[in-house]
Amino acid sequence: MDETSIACEDLRYFERRLTEVIHHMQPVAMRWRVVLLIAFGCTLWSAYFWLMDPSIRSVTLTESLQKHFMFSASVPSLLFLFGYLGIHNRVVAPTM
């Protein structure tokens, strides 16, 4: 066998294996997308109520965050998901 046919066979095997790996990652990526969607939705929902609260202008930031616990919990959870768990890589990687 010449080098070009061996290279073509290797390339075909690599392509098949890569397709298998990406296909296997799809269900896991869907779960991470749901987790990200829930965390992002909670953050948006709680941020809306936090910003629309009329008492936000008369109290300190600490008091306001204590009053709106959902927002205070959802922002660090998003930071944890992106910073520590790398959810952006887990969601986007199977689509490459």
Domain membership of residue 59 (yes or no) is yes
Q: Mean pLDDT throughout 73-94? A: 82
Domain membership of residue 15 (yes or no) is no
Specify the pTM. 0.68
Domain membership of residue 12 (yes or no) is no
Report the number of distinct structural domains present in the chain. Answer: 1
- In the numeric block, the tokens 């709680």 are attached to 46
Domain membership of residue 7 (yes or no) is no
Domain that holds residue 64: 26-95
pLDDT at 43: 94
Domain membership of residue 19 (yes or no) is no
Domain membership of residue 9 (yes or no) is no
CA 43/CA 94 separation, integer angstroms: 25
Query: Is the pLDDT at 40 greater than 90, yes or no?
Result: yes
- pLDDT tens readout for residues 8-31: 887 888 888 877 777 766 677 788
